[in-house]
Structure 1
Amino acid sequence: MLLTSRLFLRRGPHKTYPSVLQAPLTRPALFIGIPHRAVSTQSSMSAGADQPPRSAPAPTFSVSPVPKNPLGEGRYIRTAAALIIGDEILNGKTHDMNSNYFAKYCFEHGVDLKRIEVIADDEGQIIEASQRMVKNYDFVVTSGGIGPTHDDITYASLAKAFSQSLAHHPETLARMNQMIKHRTWMSTQTPQQRAATERMALFPGRAEVLFVAEDIWVPVVRLEGKLCIFPGIPSLFEKMLTALTPLLPLPPRTERPLRIQVFTERPESMIAPYLTKLQTRLKPHGIQVGSYPVLGQGVFVSLIGRDRPLTTASTTAATQIHENGDEDGANEGKKGRPRISLAEIAREVEQEIGGQVFSEEEVARRKGQCKQLTTPVTIAASMGVQPERTAHMLSNLKAKY
């Protein structure tokens, strides 16, 4: 949606062509501190036309203090879920990037992401899904549906879900007005257009309002101490989620997972029996074993476990897992409490499958090469098989990584 657009025609000796004096402002510009540029109607041939337009200084907002832990003192977030809201996701118009970013965020901070759902801009679906997720998980994020148009119904639907009325939030309105007061379109708004703009500050009445960034007026609205409402715009979602981090009761570093990846050129079917036995042996200790083929190159075996402190300096920097499943680590190092080292498991896997541990950078490079294999001909050339035998393999294998 274009908020402003100023074009004029500049005439040259051979043709007439448009020149943009003011770039169109999209919704991200409305949310964040993009300075407003004054638009001059002078011809580019007039005196001073080569001077850059003046910009109104972007306002700087205060950030909310760290709130009281909604889960209770001493507790921290263990599980999470994401609710992606938008018809445009379901009909294929927009590619969802926010759930992937949230998944990476949770992994890096030691939170188990248990569920991702994509639903329509439908009040009933939003109510049902949000109530269920808040009941089952410690941290829930929603993405999308908080703009000024008729299909932006997230705030209103969530207010109904948790039996709250809607009310304009004065501080949010003040920040929004400060952000957009210099925009030329503000002076031409009709009452209906102004009401639509102010819908973006119409929150559930008992919501917790968290301002997370100095250059963004829109807050993270939190309900029931668990559900955080975010914009659907990926750049804003990512920036606001990252900025929210200091305000969240996240797990300590000792609870964050470690991932080791072992690469082998052997076919996946050749290593499958060993991996099945390995997962059975390691599952009681909280270690996950995954197998992910890279088309035409080999297989990555992924080992994921919690990053726990070590008790001996001679042990390599790897995650230690109690064989008895001790959660808090209170009995670490005591006699009779054998450990499983993720690094030792990785060395075992290397020997069993004829592979080697790869860094995250090397993993990304290899997978990036694989994404270039997009036709049966290129796949066949890399695998040394007939093209007609590879067409049906492409969608199945690429989906795994």
Structure 2
Amino acid sequence: MTVRVGVIGGGQLARMMIAPAVELGLDLRVLAEADGMSARLAATAVGDYRDLETVRAFAQDVDVITFDHEHVPQEVLRALVDDGVKVHPGPDALQFAQDKLVMRARLAELRIPQPDWAAVHDAAELQAFLDDHGGRAVVKTPRGGYDGKGVRVVASGTDVDDWFSGLDEGGALLVEELVPFVRELAQQVARRPSGQIVAYPVVETVQRDGVCAEVIAPAPDATDRLVRVAAEIGHRIAEGLGVTGMLAVELFETDDERILVNELAMRPHNSGHWSQDGAVTGQFEQHLRAVADLPLGVTERRAAWSVMVNILGGPAEGALEDRFPAAMAQHPEAKIHTYGKAPRPGRKVGHVNVSGEDLDDVVYTARAAAAFFA
């Protein structure tokens, strides 16, 4: 019997699940937020993912629910579970990707290495943390932030008074030490409901203005210890939080050789786009395998190196697709993926993957191919 997988959210992550779903013989259905979204080819419903009855109606026609994003409210998720719907990842796991304060507290219980942190309710508490951590820190809104949004480096307890004033009664912000990192990494693992876990190679991510710009797989100059520790962290989090599907763990490598957890995402993730073309099993196929509780695929690389370069913003004039012929002619080894989104400064509208045996050549080709779409 064909398994019907319902994806809540019609963005580019849902879009990139379409092809592997077809190849796996799965029936992919999407609840999109609006008409014309990235995953419109598979959209079978349009509606508000925050509305329980809308989501319930969508869930009636699928065998399992998964997500393009982490923003579906807990009360909606728990009502689906109470209705007997299979939800992967489930609400007990997803809460840790929805609220950074909840995540930090749970990782502390699991003794996962992470930056020093605190919940702060006002400027005085923030100033006390700053005084104890060298006078500078990172403040984050616990919910809703991504791609640099909801994140601010501060040097005074009053630097986020606007955020404090917007908190609900008893609410708090997350403050973290300003980590002396030498680079950012990401570790992806996949876990199926029956418990099988596989890990991908740890990768290096390059951020610009708070947005992931490039990913290098595997992370250059990664020691055996780094590879082992990153994979262990991914396994421990997936099991400790009960994650099902893809899990991305964003990491800091510090100047004193610590590996610290920065953020979590319980879905396919930008740091894993390289795997579409550079791994035996890409992350979108793997996510579908996991949520359908199918045996997980091999995660080995197809080449020594793979590099992903995001297409940010897109061309000022003309459609993105108009640039395909020239880019393909100049760089036939590049794999170009676009999201069906209108160009806008800073917006992720696509990415380019290149794999090969020489890292310098792979980086150059990926950047050059992506430049055709600027």
TM-score interval (norm. to shorter): under 0.3
**TM-score of the two chains, using structure 2 as the length reference:** 0.21
- Indicate the structure (1 or 2) with the bigger Cα radius of gyration: 1
Structure with the higher strand share, 1 or 2? 2
